[in-house]
Amino acid sequence: MFYTVYYSLMGNPVNNLTPFIRIRDVESGNIVASGIMTSIGDGLYTYNFSSFDLQKEYIVICDAMANSVDERYKFLASGEYGDVLNTVGVLNDNIELRTLLIKKILTNKLELQDGDANNWILYDDDSMSELLKWDVRDKEGGGIIERHNSNSRRSKAK
């Protein structure tokens, strides 16, 4: 998993920085990876977090190690939900993570169950581990009731 950040000054990319990244596991609070980010040009810097686990929550802090940028610190969130909105791009242009999540949403096992809380379930690649859950209600705001022979389940794509 690559974390990528962009540094600029007055709208212009800033190169020749040595940003430092710290990746913290939210559950344990421990720093699980850290190091110098690699410049890939045009103000972009990246770090390969090889032990990334999509089912864990991470908080990432990137420090430009210089005050000659518009924002010295960049903050990201990622993981099981990555707070879904952040994963889909509110916090950062983390294209690899967004692409992986979109692929899982489009192809993995998906089920709608009775109720109105956490009843739309997306499973991970093993088709057994729950990856994401959403609350789905009927048009009046009530709970969903499964009907016999309803098409509310999708098997993992082959």
According to DSSP H, which parts of the chain are helical? 95-107
Using the 3D structure, point to which of 104, 122, 143 is the last residue of a domain: 104
CA–CA separation, 22 vs 31, rounded Å? 7
CA–CA separation, 67 vs 75, rounded Å? 16
**CATH code of residue 74:** 2.60.40
Do 28 and 60 share a structural domain?
Answer: yes
Q: What is the pLDDT of residue 40?
A: 94
Q: What is the pLDDT of residue 97?
A: 62
CA–CA separation, 105 vs 67, rounded Å? 40
Do 90 and 114 share a structural domain?
Answer: no
pLDDT in tens, 109-135: 888 877 777 778 888 888 888 877 878
Q: What is the pLDDT of residue 135?
A: 81
Please tell me what DSSP assigns to residue 89: I
Show the beta-strand stretches assigned E in the chain: 2-6, 8-9, 12-13, 20-25, 31-36, 38-41, 44-48, 58-63, 73-78, 110-112, 120-123, 130-134, 153-154
Do 74 and 20 share a structural domain?
Answer: yes
Do 56 and 92 share a structural domain?
Answer: yes
Q: Is the pTM of this model over 0.85?
A: no
HSE of 50, CA atoms in CB hemisphere, 13 A: 1
Q: What is the pLDDT of residue 30?
A: 94
Q: What is the pLDDT of residue 87?
A: 42
Q: What is the pLDDT of residue 91?
A: 44
Q: What is the pLDDT of residue 132?
A: 79
Do 84 and 7 share a structural domain?
Answer: yes
CA–CA separation, 37 vs 62, rounded Å? 9
Using the 3D structure, point to which of 62, 83, 104 is the last residue of a domain: 104
Assign residue 140 a region (left: φ > 0; alpha: ψ between -120 and 50; beta: otherwise): alpha
Q: What is the pLDDT of residue 86?
A: 45
Q: Decide: 41 and 84 in contact? Cβ < 8 Å.
A: no
Q: What is the pLDDT of residue 88?
A: 43
Q: What is the pLDDT of residue 150?
A: 62
Q: What is the pLDDT of residue 31?
A: 95
Print the domain residue range for 118. 108-158
Q: What is the pLDDT of residue 103?
A: 78
**Six-digit token pair at 73?**
């610190």
Q: What is the pLDDT of residue 98?
A: 63
Which residues of the chain, if any, have pLDDT below 50? 80-93
